Amino acid sequence: MKRSTLALFILAAFAHSGPVHAGVTTADIENDARTTGDVLSWGMGTEGQRYSPLTKINTKNVKRLVPAWSYSYGGEKQRGQEAQPLVVGGKMFITASYSRIFALDTKTGRKLWSYEHRLPEGIMPCCDVINRGAAVYDNLVIYATLDAQLVALDQNTGKVVWKEKIDDYQAGYSSSAAPIIAKGLVLTGVSGGEFGIIGRVEARDAKTGKMVWVRPTIEGHMGYKFDESGNKVDNGISGTTNASWQGDLWKTGGAATWLGGTFDAKTGLAYFGTGNPAPWNSHLRPGDNLYSCSTVAIDVATGQIKWHFQGTPNDGWDYDGTNE
């Protein structure tokens, strides 16, 4: 992906306001791929198909598109830009490098507000300081940060509504993927497979940030559900300890869910790809090393892995399998 783009260009044919939302609902999100006045999910719908039914722009007239406005994120923090904008009720929400987010007027490009997450010293993002986007639900816009936190802001003011820690950045955890919303839950993954972290998918109540379940993506690690008081409830083990990992390497096995996931409302399953196992030297970890370099299908209602497919057993080439 080209990482030199420092400004966001909006084409004239797209610079229109969508309908004003009282609050983004589950139904709105599940219909995102079929509605044309807004963009509510990374991938233009939780299934990630990136397809628009609009026909006004086509192969014959696309060459006539010209920029209507541009917006520069400015300052010395201009680095890689990998986020897809979200559009809600005439507002555009776009994340930027160093865990920043901007709200813009879609017609004019005027900044409505911005929020810059305060990052501590010593963060360890393996692959630049980028962010891949946000999620919207109700009156919130939610995004993850390089120090492994999840922040929910008021769409109108940019004020923090809730903030939750995903994990310890000093242990190698970070997060840059766009969250997705599924049945009122915000689903996030983790980054840091190069630093001995444990990949996982988390589900939180999108309105409050309260944890609902967590599902590790390294075989042998326990998954949990959480009750209304925040207490862990045993939710089973994602496979048998040492079945595909020998010794203790499963304890720091990688398989980061660093690109984020997709969700199919018809099946109720979220699909996340996982990254490389750790350490990179595959001779140290004989076996398939599940669920690294895999696609896992997770029941959003329970947090259980329903099936998996591993593209590269015992990966020794850093191929990853994060194809969402």
Residues marked active site are found at: 318
Q: CA-CA distances (angstroms) from residue 186 to 157, 161, 191, 305, 321?
A: 21, 15, 17, 17, 22
From CA 224, how far away is CA 149, in angstroms rounded? 19
Fill in the DSSP letter of residue 105: E
Q: In the β-sheet with 149-154, what is the strand arrangement from edge to edge? A: 135-137, 140-144, 149-154, 160-165
| Cis status of the peptide bond prior to 279, with omega within 30 of 0 | yes
Q: Tell me the DSSP string of 253-289.
A: -B---TT-EEEETTTTEEEEEB--BSSS-GGGS-S--
With CA atoms as reference, report the closest residue to 295 among 308, 278, 276: 308
Distance of CA 226 to the CA centre of its chain: 21
**Matching residue, tokens 């969700």:** 263
Parallel, antiparallel or unpaired: strands 140-144 and 211-216: unpaired
